[in-house]
């Protein structure tokens, strides 16, 4: 089997890369370890930056997003018993769109398959070879048979636990990491959102986030211990905790509803450098992880593949390798700014078990400053809606 660009992973990064390349006449094959049902059912992030929305429209997969995505022109920060709005539109002229990654994944898979794109689901034992030479290869098994896919380039879009980053020689890679002493317990619940906009709550019981997927579907998170046991969190306890952290009239207005999904996500900041090794490119979670507080993970994955699609398009059109060589640095400049923002939002809003009373005072002062100063709230807003692409 042969293709121009072999892609490992059918998450948002791999699927969008495949779609962008297809629109420029470049052929891809995606190898995905899981089934289509599994990939389409995973509940993940939900906030798209303006630049991500524009990219999805350009990639011709924006029709449903434009129809059912919710445009949000601000968020609220809740602390000290009050809520404060950050007005994105007024501060930056931009907005974000709330649209589940699950839905985006379905749109992308639908578009790829409708155009005859090749996605091998349930590809087993994928391995990556010869990316330091001219003809890299992907080996895999499917239905008991061994296959070899020979390619010009490999897109390593296989997430944090994938095989691509792990195939790079250790001494060729520098990694930077921070773990946090807490996790997020999330539920997707059949109940209307308590507010039209997302509410990020700093509270002495811990952080909480009130998000949504539609006018009848809420996505809610509470800070918990990293080793928390889900069995100890029946729905009623989660709703009580959400109400306690939200406080005020909104807590009374919050309606419990049946939960469709419940999970615990660890919090981590991680970057691997560089993001290219010869003809292997890492993109999305394969190269970097951000804690979810800034809603940057999916947007960073989209920004990476935008840069990569341009680089490969230039190569196939002209034989020039300038953009390929610039890929890693171009992505990492954005990645580190998103790391900084995600770390900062996380630090400002969570309760750290080891903190000192001094730290508590600083945290409240930070929130007071961010919500009271036009300069500081603009800094939050311009990062949240997405820094300019280039």
* Integer Cα distance of 242 and 247 in angstroms: 9
Cα gap 311→153, rounded to integer Å: 11
Per the residue annotation, which of 99, 180, 221, 384 is the catalytic one? 384
17 vs 86, beta carbon nearer ligand APR: 17
Decide: 108 and 15 in contact? Cβ < 8 Å: yes
152's tokens: 């010009």
188 near ligand APR (CB under 6 A): no
Minimum CB–partner distance for residue 127 and ligand APR (Å): 8
Q: How many CB atoms lie within 10 A of CB 74?
A: 20
Short-list 215, 214, 19, CA closest to 107: 19
**29 touches ligand APR (CB under 6 A):** no
How many residues form the binding site for ligand PHB (CB under 6 A)?
A: 10
For residue 343, the minimal CB distance to ligand PHB (Å) is 13
Retrieve residue 97's tokens: 């769109």
Residue 293 binding partner per list ligand PHB, ligand APR, none, with a CB distance cut-off of 5 to 8 Å that depends on partner kind: ligand PHB
Contact window for ligand APR (CB under 6 A) among 31-39, 76-84, 231-239, 350-358: 31-39
349 lines the binding site for ligand PHB (CB under 6 A):
no
Single residue of 211, 259, 269, 363 touching ligand PHB by CB under 6 A: 211
Is the separation of the CB atoms in 112 and 21 below 8 Å? no
Shortest CB 76 distance to ligand PHB, Å? 12
Distance, in Å, from the CA atom of 127 to the CA atom of 218, rounded to the nearest integer, reads: 39
Among this protein's residues, is 384 annotated catalytic? yes
From 14, 49, 53, select the one nearest 32 (Cα to Cα). Answer: 14
Count of residues of this chain found to bind ligand APR when the rule CB under 6 A is applied? 28
Task: Report how far apart the first and last C-alpha atoms of the chain are (Å, whole number).
Answer: 37
Contact 265, 183 (CB under 8 A): yes
The residue (of 184 and 200) whose beta carbon lies closer to ligand APR is 184
| Contacts of ligand APR in 82-111 (CB under 6 A) | 101
- Helix/strand/coil percent split, the chain, to 5: 40, 30, 30
Residues 345, 75: contact at Cβ < 8 Å? no
Cis? peptide before 11, omega within 30° of 0: no
Name residues contacting ligand APR, limited to 220-239 (CB under 6 A).
none
Query: Which CB, 295 or 370, lies closer to ligand PHB?
Result: 295
Catalytic pick among 12, 99, 292, 350: 292
Choice among 12, 22, 72, 106 that is catalytic? 72
Q: Considering only residues 47, 55, 91, 303, which one is a binding residue for ligand PHB as defined by CB under 6 A? A: 47
Instruction: Please pick, from the candidates 5, 7, 8, 168, the single residue that binds ligand APR as defined by CB under 6 A.
Output: 8
H-helix or E-strand spanning residue 128: strand 124-129
> For the window 142-181, what string marks contact with ligand APR as x by the rule CB under 6 A?
---------------xxx--xx------------------
Q: Is 222 in the site for ligand PHB (CB under 6 A)?
A: no
* Integer Cα distance of 362 and 242 in angstroms: 24
CA 285/CA 176 separation, integer angstroms: 14
Please choose, out of 40-48, 110-118, 234-242, 249-257, the segment that lies near ligand PHB by the rule CB under 6 A: 40-48
Output the smallest distance, CB 111 to ligand PHB, in A. 23
Catalytic residue chosen out of the listed positions 106, 137, 296, 350: 296
Q: Which two tokens stand for residue 159?
A: 């997430």
Q: How far is the C-alpha of 180 from the C-alpha of 346, rounded, in Å? A: 9
Which of these ranges, 42-50, 84-92, 112-120, 283-291, lies near ligand PHB under the rule CB under 6 A?
42-50
Q: Which does 295 bind (CB under 5 to 8 A by kind): ligand PHB, ligand APR, none?
A: ligand PHB
Catalytic residue (one of 99, 180, 200, 327): 200
Report the nearest approach of ligand APR to the CB of residue 255 (Å).
28
To the query of whether residue 292 is one of the catalytic residues in this protein, the response is yes
Tokens 């580190």 appear where?
336
The CA distances from residue 109 to 15, 35, 157, 263, in Å, are 7, 12, 15, 25
**Catalytic annotation present for 296:** yes
Catalytic residue list: 72, 200, 292, 296, 384
Enumerate binding residues for ligand PHB (CB under 6 A): 45-47, 198, 209, 211, 219, 292-293, 295
């Amino acid at each position: 089997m042969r293709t121009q660009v072999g892609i490992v992973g059918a998450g948002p990064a791999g699927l969008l890369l495949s779609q962008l390349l297809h629109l420029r006449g470049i052929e891809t094959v995606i190898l995905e370890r899981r089934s289509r049902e599994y990939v389409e059912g995973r509940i993940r992030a939900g906030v798209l930056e303006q630049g991500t929305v524009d990219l999805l429209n350009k990639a011709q997969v924006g029709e449903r997003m434009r129809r059912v995505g919710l445009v949000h022109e601000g968020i609220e920060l809740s602390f000290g018993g009050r809520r404060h709005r950050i007005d994105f539109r007024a501060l930056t002229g931009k907005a974000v769109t709330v649209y589940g990654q699950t839905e985006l994944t379905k749109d992308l898979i639908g578009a790829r398959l409708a155009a005859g794109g090749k996605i091998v689901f349930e590809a087993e034992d994928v391995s990556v070879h010869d990316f330091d030479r001219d003809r890299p290869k992907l080996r895999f098994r499917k239905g008991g048979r061994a296959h070899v896919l020979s390619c010009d380039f490999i897109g390593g879009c296989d997430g944090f636990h994938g095989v691509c980053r792990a195939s790079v020689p250790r001494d060729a890679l520098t990694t930077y990491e921070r773990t946090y002493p807490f996790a997020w317990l999330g539920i997707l619940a059949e109940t209307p959102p308590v507010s039209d906009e997302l509410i990020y709550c700093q509270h002495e019981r811990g952080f909480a986030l009130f998000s949504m997927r539609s006018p009848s579907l809420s996505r809610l998170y509470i800070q918990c211990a990293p080793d928390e046991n889900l069995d100890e969190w029946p729905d009623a306890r989660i709703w009580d905790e959400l109400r306690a952290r939200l406080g005020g009239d909104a807590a009374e207005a919050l309606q419990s509803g049946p939960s469709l999904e419940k999970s615990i996500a660890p919090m981590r900041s991680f970057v691997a450098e560089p993001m290219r090794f010869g003809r292997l490119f890492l993109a999305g979670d394969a190269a970097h992880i951000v804690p979810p507080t800034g809603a940057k993970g999916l947007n960073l994955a989209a920004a990476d593949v935008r840069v990569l699609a341009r680089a490969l398009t230039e190569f196939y059109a002209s034989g020039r390798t300038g953009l390929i060589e610039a890929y890693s640095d171009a992505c990492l400049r954005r990645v580190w700014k998103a790391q900084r923002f995600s770390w900062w939002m996380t630090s400002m809003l969570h309760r750290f078990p080891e903190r000192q009373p001094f730290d508590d005072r600083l945290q409240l002062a930070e929130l007071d400053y961010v919500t009271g100063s036009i300069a500081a709230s603009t800094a939050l807003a311009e990062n949240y809606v997405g820094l300019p692409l280039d």
